[in-house]
Structure formats: structure tokens, C-alpha cells
Amino acid sequence: MKVKAFAKINLCLDVLSRRADGYHDVEMVMTNVDIADVLEIRELEENKVSLICNNKDLATDETNLIYKAIVLLQKETKRNFGVEVRLEKNIPMEAGMAGGSADAAATLKAVNELFNLGITTERLIELGARLGADIPFCIMGGTVLAKGIGEKLTPLKKLPKLKLLIAKPAAGLSTKLVYGNLDIETLNKTGFKHRDVREMVSIIESDDTDDIKTVKIAKALDNILEVPSLKLLPFIGQIKQIMYDNNCLGSLMSGSGTAIFGIFDNDSDMLKAKYVLEKDDRINYIETTTTV
């Protein structure tokens, strides 16, 4: 069985508070983009989990989310089964584009189908939430408002097909590091003005034409995690500025970074920005894509 695991970007992300369990309560709007890892999954006669990947930088042992997803399904169903997963990695790592989460979500769905486990989508989402906050969204897909730690999902209208340029610095920032440098309590006490995520939701749910909706979405982009990330890696701001210098409608860091995307209304401006960014050896990933 061969399946695709699509990347995501955040159109907005707000962190409300830190929870006692170490997670954070968030509100965010996420959507899939047409960049995907490819997983080839097959049954093994031997009861073992085998993970093979074309990217040698990715751990393929029991610490990998694909591996953990399979073990979780074995425990859930009290069944032992052998699985081999061959992973073609196309989503950049440490990018805030849910590469690992997308792979785990695709694995949960595919193994459930391959072995006729009979687990409902709702239950898969519950199981996925145990492994990572973005996995429930990756199971559902589309464009979604997410609350809680990311597991409370509300599907939204399908987006216009947005023209996107995505650039990622070679320097990565781990989710743990970014959240560790976000002092949300202090920000709240000092009167930090949170962008209302409901603004983005209302734009997406509106009856505006695609052209008008695209412009409004671009103007409403917001990610509170840029606050610590820009301090940790100022180059993020420089990438955004290059996109704005080449007439992007709006630019944002996705998730906890470090991928930056720009929304463009024409291919010419997008390719000009891509040409400028490609010449910077501090960038190790650059791609044009669209929302799915």
C-alpha cells in the first residue's frame, strides 16, 4: 500500500496559556499544502517493525513517530503484526510543517486499513493525540480550526488555491526550544495583544470571491511563535522581508518554524523571490507549491 502524507502550514497560531502538563493551550488555523512524503507500507511475515528512509538524517528506530504509531495500534488492538514502511521524505525537517506528524497520521490510517483493524476515524484521532499535537489535524486534513493542544478540531471551508513560496533556513529550531523561549505568562501580563484567530476563521467561512478571500487571508496571517523565533534566528525576518520586497501578499513562519511561506498573486513575483532566496546559502530548502 502506497500513501501520501501531506505537509501543513499555519495561517494563524495563538498560544493562550501554558498547561500544568507542559503542553500549551492554542488556537490555530492549519491547512494542507501540496508537498508530501510518500509511505509504502506492507505486511511482514515476521512480527517486527521495519522502517527504511531515503533521508539518513532521520531516525528509523523506536523513537520515530511512524514506529510509535504502529506500536500504538498493536497495543490498541492487542494484535502483533509485522510491518515494513519505506519512507520517501520530501517534507523538510524542523520546518513547522508537521512532517513527522503527517507520517504518523498516514501510518495510523494505512495500517488500520491494511490489517482491517476496524478503528474509527474518531478513535484514530484520539490515539494520534497521544503521540503529537499536530497528528489529529493530519488525520483529518483540509483546512481546520484547532483548539486545546491541537486535538479539538473544527473543519472549515475549502480555501482558494493559494500560490505559495516556502523557504527554510538550514538552521532549525526545535519545537521545545521555541516554546521554551515563549514566556506567555509575562507577555499576557504586559498587555501583549493577541491576534483574534476568529478573524481568520470568518474570512475563510465568508462568501467572498477567491481573489478577495486570498488577499484577506494574506493580511490576517499571524503566528505568536515568531516572537521567540525571530530572537533565536533573526534570519527568519530577513526571508520574510525578501518575500515582501517581491510583492508577496503576506508572509509567515509556519508552526514553530523554521519554514517561512509567502502568498503571491502571480507566478512572476513568486519566481523572482525564489531566485533571490536561492542564491543565499543559508537556505537549504525552497519550493513553490499550492494549498491542496
- Name residues whose C-beta falls within 8 Å of residue 130's C-beta, 6 or more positions apart in sequence: 72
Give the per-residue pLDDT at 170. Answer: 94
Residues 226-237, mean pLDDT to the nearest whole number: 95
Q: Which of 14, 37, 103, 134 is flagged as catalytic?
A: 134
pLDDT tens, position by position, 38-51? 999 999 999 999 99
In the chain, how many domains are there? Answer: 2
Determine if residue 237 is labeled as part of a ligand binding site.
Answer: no
Taking the C-alpha atoms of residue 224 and residue 216, their distance in angstroms, rounded to an integer, is 19
* Residues 61 and 143 placed together within one structural domain of the fold: yes
Residues 204-208, mean pLDDT to the nearest whole number: 98
Q: Which residue, 279, 225, 269, 214, is CA-closest to 247? A: 269
9 is written with which cell numbers? Answer: 502550514
DSSP symbol at 249: S
Residue 8 is a catalytic residue? yes
Determine if residue 36 is labeled as part of a ligand binding site.
Answer: no
Residues 58-82, mean pLDDT to the nearest whole number: 96
What does DSSP say about strands 163-169 and 283-290: parallel, antiparallel, or unpaired? antiparallel
124 is written with which cell numbers? Answer: 484514530
Taking the C-alpha atoms of residue 30 and residue 156, their distance in angstroms, rounded to an integer, is 10
282 is written with which cell numbers? Answer: 543559508
* Residues 137 and 179 placed together within one structural domain of the fold: no
Least confident of 2-6, 81-85, 115-119, 182-186: 182-186
Give the per-residue pLDDT at 47. Answer: 92
- Alpha-helical segments (H) within 115-248: 121-131, 135-140, 175-180, 184-189, 197-205, 210-219, 226-232, 235-245
Give the per-residue pLDDT at 28. Answer: 96
Give the per-residue pLDDT at 188. Answer: 81
Determine if residue 93 is labeled as part of a ligand binding site.
Answer: yes
Give the per-residue pLDDT at 18. Answer: 80
CATH code of the domain covering residue 135: 3.30.230.10
Q: Which residue, 290, 283, 235, is CA-closest to 262? A: 290
Give the per-residue pLDDT at 270. Answer: 98
Residue 56 is a catalytic residue? no
Determine if residue 69 is labeled as part of a ligand binding site.
Answer: no
Taking the C-alpha atoms of residue 49 and residue 71, their distance in angstroms, rounded to an integer, is 8
Domain boundary, last residue among 155, 183, 209: 155
pLDDT at 80 over 80: yes
Range(s) of the domain holding residue 209: 163-290
Give the per-residue pLDDT at 151. Answer: 86
Determine if residue 5 is labeled as part of a ligand binding site.
Answer: no
Determine if residue 97 is labeled as part of a ligand binding site.
Answer: yes
pTM for this model (two decimals): 0.94
pLDDT tens, position by position, 261-273? 999 999 999 999 9
Give the per-residue pLDDT at 186. Answer: 85
Give the per-residue pLDDT at 76. Answer: 97
Residues 97-112, mean pLDDT to the nearest whole number: 97
Model confidence at 21, in pLDDT bands (50, 70, 90)? confident
Give the per-residue pLDDT at 172. Answer: 85
* Residues 142 and 31 placed together within one structural domain of the fold: yes
Determine if residue 95 is labeled as part of a ligand binding site.
Answer: yes
Domain boundary, last residue among 155, 176, 195: 155
* Residues 111 and 214 placed together within one structural domain of the fold: no
* Residues 193 and 268 placed together within one structural domain of the fold: yes
* Residues 204 and 263 placed together within one structural domain of the fold: yes
* Residues 151 and 210 placed together within one structural domain of the fold: no
Strand partners, 223: 13
For the chain, what percent of residues have pLDDT higher than 70?
100
Determine if residue 243 is labeled as part of a ligand binding site.
Answer: no
Domain boundary, last residue among 112, 129, 155: 155
* Residues 146 and 278 placed together within one structural domain of the fold: no
Determine if residue 255 is labeled as part of a ligand binding site.
Answer: no
Q: In the predicted model, what is the mean pLDDT of the chain?
A: 95
Give the H/E segment covering residue 103. Answer: helix 99-114
Taking the C-alpha atoms of residue 197 and residue 204, their distance in angstroms, rounded to an integer, is 11
Q: Which of 8, 109, 168, 240 is flagged as catalytic?
A: 8
Give the per-residue pLDDT at 22. Answer: 73
* Residues 14 and 115 placed together within one structural domain of the fold: yes
Residue 123 and residue 95 in contact, taking contact as beta carbons nearer than 8 Å: no
> Peptide bond before 290: cis, by omega within 30 degrees of 0?
no
* Residues 185 and 54 placed together within one structural domain of the fold: no
* Residues 183 and 284 placed together within one structural domain of the fold: yes
CATH code of the domain covering residue 213: 3.30.70.890
* Residues 202 and 231 placed together within one structural domain of the fold: yes
pLDDT tens, position by position, 131-168? 998 999 999 999 999 999 888 999 999 999 999 999 99
For the chain, what percent of residues have pLDDT higher than 90?
86
